[in-house]
Amino acid sequence: MKQLAEKLLKLEKQLNVISEKSMVPIGSLLVDFWRSIYIEHNGDNVKRRFWFLDLLSLIKYIGYFLFSPTSKTKTIKDLKILLCKSYDKPHYNRLIDFIPPIIRQSEVVKSDYKTIYNNLTIIEKILVVKSFLSTYIHNIARLKKVISENKISSQSLSYLGAFSIIKFYSAVEYLKRNKVQLIIVDYDRNIFAPIVLAANYRGIKTVSLQHGVINPPYGYFPILASEVWVWGKLWKDLLVEMGESPIKIKIVGSTIAGSMNKAQKSEKIKHIGIGPNNPAGDKKNQKLWNQIIIELVRSGYQVSVKLHPSMDKKRHGEDIFGSGCRIIDASEMENQKFFITIDLLIVSDSGLGYEAVVEGTPVAVVRESEQSQANDFIMIEKGRFPEIKLGPDIKETIRKISETQNDLLKKEQRFVSKYIYEYTCKEAENRILERIQELIH
């Protein structure tokens, strides 16, 4: 996977160079396409459709874009900040929602881009479509050729690329008519890449928040925004190792995590939580967790699986995790409440483990693979978190954790407070608000 990641990043850079004479950094606009390729090679299923269905969807989307109603309730002249929020889920709410009540000259943009589209006039929308068609027609054949020469499937490229280009030009037109000083996104290498790149083109400061653990070799890097605000020292060091400029990286802490160093609430482990990581892919999650959960249930433990915010029960339910456990959607229960219900959390590559430690719940780790250099490696090798291995020794391993869990929790909390979260909760909120005020004044 590392070789594929390096190839995709090289292609992204190459396509940006090809298009550097225009205003469109086409390589970075294709982040959704690159991610679909990476996910598919990672063993997950990527939805593929016939080309004419993609074309019909694109025509429908352009119609929706052109005829979406113009907002009459809010002017954009007084805006200072755009806040871009991927989902209405507790995890993302904690990242963004504390800002608007304090800084009222702000507007939230969601993944549907309605805030952008509804504030464009019909003339501006026509200009967007014209620019989109010109860029699309001029570049699509060349893009397919370059990608095919690198032995990567160009299926879905036309479809995903078209949406990104429309969003890019829409954001450019939107930003022409207001005095936005700062754009903050919860992730700059996803659906909000077009807004970040449009702001960069317009000379507007952009910030990407750290919304989850940073794992090489593919995900956060390269940063598209002017700055990335990370949780703590480890994440800054990791980005610098990948090749990011330390000047772009600011440590602000995590508003997702609770107040640090809460005491452990239980003496005996009865109820075990599982924290899977969606980017691992369905097949890998099934291979990783199904048998472990069966062993835990056989050993007499109650097991609950807290799904990643981008997962849901319909797709990621019993087929992956089995029928012997309770499966909880991210929006069904906040993390802090989940931690109260369990005595031990087992994770692989999920940042949920660090949140649990902060809340007073000890954590054990399952390696995704022996070659992994990701978050499972960090927790086991650097943090000295206990490792869980599939087999008859699981019950004995958990018994040992139960006997020493107070000392274990203190050790894990020391690691988390030193390297993972420099600030949490209200302290992190205050750091972010202070940094925002510095940038907009």
* CATH code: domain of residue 336: 3.40.50.2000
Residues 217 and 306 grouped into a single domain = no
Residues 305 and 226 grouped into a single domain = no
What does the alpha-carbon distance between residue 129 and residue 61 come to, in Å, rounded to a whole number?
Answer: 11
Identify whether 259 is part of a domain.
Answer: no
Token pair listed for 228:
């990335």
Residues 10 and 129 grouped into a single domain = yes
Identify whether 436 is part of a domain.
Answer: no
Residues 73 and 217 grouped into a single domain = yes
The answer to whether 412 and 362 are in contact (CB under 8 A) is yes
Identify whether 265 is part of a domain.
Answer: no
- Kindly give the parts of the chain with pLDDT less than 70: 1, 20-22, 42-51, 71-77, 217, 261-267, 278-281, 316
Residues 36 and 173 grouped into a single domain = yes
Please name the residues in contact with 221: beta carbons below 8 A apart, sequence gap of 6 or more.
Answer: 9, 239, 242, 243, 244
Give the count of domains, the chain.
Answer: 2
Residues 215 and 327 grouped into a single domain = no
Residues 328 and 221 grouped into a single domain = no
Identify whether 221 is part of a domain.
Answer: yes
pLDDT of residue 320: 78
The answer to whether 225 and 207 are in contact (CB under 8 A) is yes
Identify whether 263 is part of a domain.
Answer: no
Phi, psi of 292 (to 5 degrees): -65, -45
Residues 246 and 292 grouped into a single domain = no
Identify whether 18 is part of a domain.
Answer: yes
Identify whether 435 is part of a domain.
Answer: no
What does the alpha-carbon distance between residue 417 and residue 367 come to, in Å, rounded to a whole number?
Answer: 23
Identify whether 31 is part of a domain.
Answer: yes
Please provide the size of the chain in residues. Answer: 441
Residues 204 and 275 grouped into a single domain = no
Residues 111 and 230 grouped into a single domain = yes
Please name the residues in contact with 387: beta carbons below 8 A apart, sequence gap of 6 or more.
Answer: 364, 365, 366, 367, 380
Range of the domain at 82: 2-251
Residues 147 and 243 grouped into a single domain = yes
CA 194 to chain centre: 16
pLDDT of residue 47: 58
**Which residues on neighbouring strands pair with residue 227, listed in sequence order?**
207
What does the alpha-carbon distance between residue 85 and residue 101 come to, in Å, rounded to a whole number?
Answer: 16
Kindly report the CATH number assigned to the domain that includes residue 200: 3.40.50
pLDDT of residue 162: 92
Residues 222 and 292 grouped into a single domain = no
Q: What angle (nearest 5°) sits at the alpha carbon of residue 364, between those of residues 361 and 366?
A: 145
Of the three residues 208, 223, 251, the one that is the final residue of a domain is: 251
Instruction: State the chain's maximal CA–CA distance in angstroms.
Output: 69
Please name the residues in contact with 62: beta carbons below 8 A apart, sequence gap of 6 or more.
Answer: 129, 166
